[in-house]
Structure 1
Amino acid sequence: MTALTPPEGLLVPPGHGRAIRTAAQQVTFKVTGSHSRSASSFEVLVPPGFDVGAHVHSRSEELFYVLEGELDMLAFEPVVRTADRWQRWESSSGNRVVRATPGTVIVVPPGCPHAFANPTGEPAKMFFQASPPPDHERYFEELLAILDRGGPPDHAAIEELRARYDIEQLTPLRHGPAENVTPAGP
């Protein structure tokens, strides 16, 4: 009779995990699909001026937890989806974009438009979890490779990438100086 080995958890110390970087961005894979059947987890450095653009997933559920800095964030269906900027969107119940500070948690169910941007002059850091794995792992690898090419983002390549990974883009991704981002508020 063979003895069963009890399962062991995964401990990832600070500063550990598989990091992928561009000149301004970093995503550190903390928990991947090889470790969990339920979610991938990442630590994400969001540079000043980065705007992921409003988007929606039909299958993925996401969780964002701000660790450092400030991010403008939304997670609701707006009364009107504008094609350019999401920072002024408002929901039918009156929800607006939030200036998220350390300790803020946002949960995004499938089908819910959401976005984040760093409107400040300082990097922000967040913990990000996506379920099911491993789509977001592959997506981050490919997106950072596109952004690392230099110059303005290749929007056609990003659009094709997002189409492959269950991401319907509602407003453009922006990657540049903080003055290109409109702060939250009325």
Structure 2
Amino acid sequence: MIQDLKEDYFNDLLEDNATIILPEEGEELALNDIRFTFKVTSEMSNGQLGVYTIALAPMAIGAKPHYHRFMDEIFIVDKGLLTLQVGQKEFQASPGAIVYVPRFTPHGFRNDTDEEVRLTLLFNPSQKREGFFRGLHETLGEDPIDPKKYLKLYNKYDSFPVDISNMIPKR
């Protein structure tokens, strides 16, 4: 006798899949004036969410104005005063500020102060953003920086500079 294997439409199948990431944990990449730490990766979230911490040294540029087609981005300021450009507006975000940037919204961010700025960055979906940060680490570590290689990296990971002639995050 063959048993019918029916799917249970009425009960949830619970799993124990939580991950706890302590403040000092995560893979860190350090550039000259920026440190990225991977907290929740694309692999962990099945591509749905990326959570990263970023430390910007004094006067560091995180990113020149750009936009994303397929992901939303959230900035949470943890320490310091972050300068954000969203669309045509520019403003200062202090600790505790949360800035939601939906897809197709031009945005950029930088530290215009003499103190370190720390923020938490969330991408939804994550679009394998770790590859983007690893590519930034490689590309921005080269001297001179190759704009064509930088643009190729940007476009591969759903980032599109507003001004291709002024896209490299240098002052």
Q: TM-score, normalised by structure 1?
A: 0.75
Residue 30 of structure 1, CA deviation: 0.2
Q: Deviations over 1:6-64 (max 9, x none)?
A: 32311001110111112322100000112113211000112233331100111011110
Distance 1:14 1:102 in 2: 17
Secondary structure at the counterpart of residue 103 of structure 1:
coil
For residues 98 and 127 of structure 1, what CA distance do their matches in structure 2 show? Answer: 18
CA RMSD of aligned residues (A): 1.9
Q: CA deviation at 1:123?
A: 2.1
**1:111 equivalenced with 2:122 (yes/no):** no
2:77 pairs with 1:66: yes
Aligned to 1:8: 17
2:37 corresponds to which of 28, 43, 49: 28
Report the AA paired with residue 98 of structure 1.
Answer: F
**Is residue 54 from structure 1 mapped to residue 65 from structure 2 by the alignment?**
yes
Task: Identify if the C-alpha distance between structure 1 residues 36 and 174 changes in structure 2 by more than 3 Å, giving closer, same or farther.
Answer: same
**For residue 121 of structure 1, what is the amino acid of its counterpart?**
D
Q: 1:26 to 1:148 in 2, by over 3 A?
A: same
Judge conservation of contact 1:32–1:39 (CA < 8 Å) in 2: yes
Contact 1:75 1:106 in 2 (8 A): no
Say whether 1:133 aligns with 2:144: no
**Contact 1:153/1:174 (<8 A) preserved:** no
Structure 2, unpaired ranges of 5+:
1-12
Letter in 2 for 1:56: Y
Question: Could you tell me whether the CA contact under 8 Å between 2:71 and 2:127 is conserved in 1?
Answer: no
Q: Which has the higher contact order (CA 8 A, sep 6+)?
A: 1
Alignment of 1:168-183 (within 5 A): 168-171=160-163, 172-175=167-170, 180=171
Superposition TM-score, scaled by structure 2 size? 0.81
Provide the aligned length of Structure 1 versus Structure 2.
154
- 1:120 and 2:113 aligned: yes
Which of 143, 152, 163 is matched with 1:160 structurally?
Answer: 152
Does residue 1:43 correspond to 2:53, yes or no? yes
Cα pair 2:74 2:98 within 8 Å, conserved: yes
- Give the structure with the larger strand fraction: 2
SS at match of 1:160: helix
Cα distance in 2 for partners of 1:133, 1:144 equals 18
Residue correspondence of structure 1 range 69-80 to structure 2 within 5 A: 69-76=80-87
Aligned to 2:9: none
Percent of aligned positions that are identical: 25
